[in-house]
Amino acid sequence: MSVKLDRLIDDFARAHFADKGLKENVYAAQKKLEEDIIEEISEEKSQEIAARANQIKQQEQVKAQFRELKAVYIQCIFLALLIGLLGSHLYDLMKYWLYDTTPDVDITRFGFGLVITLIICIIVCVWMFVSQIIKVYEIFISKKD
């Protein structure tokens, strides 16, 4: 230990245990005080380290949640654009069938584009669904361990 702390322990032990007689009692009291002080300081430091580790863990969780939120926003915007494009195609198809307002439309190309857009929307929805299932599965596996 440091010189100041040794001196304080020595002075405290002599003041409180010197009247009991033997030098061994003073030495035993000094060692007991040293052990108590070391144990108390160690406990305080371990609590500080645990609190800091908790704080770092919470910060990492918040960062991960923000990354997840950002990914969800991007996925939703992409899916909304695709669904909007699909809705526009369907609306134009309905206009063509009901009102016959666009006589120079190549219906095979139009239908092909509609089918491709629909397939892309389905693939994106299935991909988002499967990715969420995988995340939930990973959470359950990590909780199990």
Residue 15: CB atoms within 10 A of its CB come to 10
Proportion of the chain above pLDDT 70, given as a percent? 86
Dist CA 53 CA 141 (whole Å):
23
Dist CA 86 CA 76 (whole Å):
15
**pLDDT interval class at 125 (50, 70, 90):** confident
In this prediction, residue 92 carries a pLDDT of 79
* Number of residues in the chain: 145
CA–CA distances in Å: residue 27 to residues 1, 12, 14, 15, 20: 15, 11, 9, 12, 12
Average pLDDT over residues 17-42: 74
Dist CA 37 CA 43 (whole Å):
10
In this prediction, residue 20 carries a pLDDT of 57
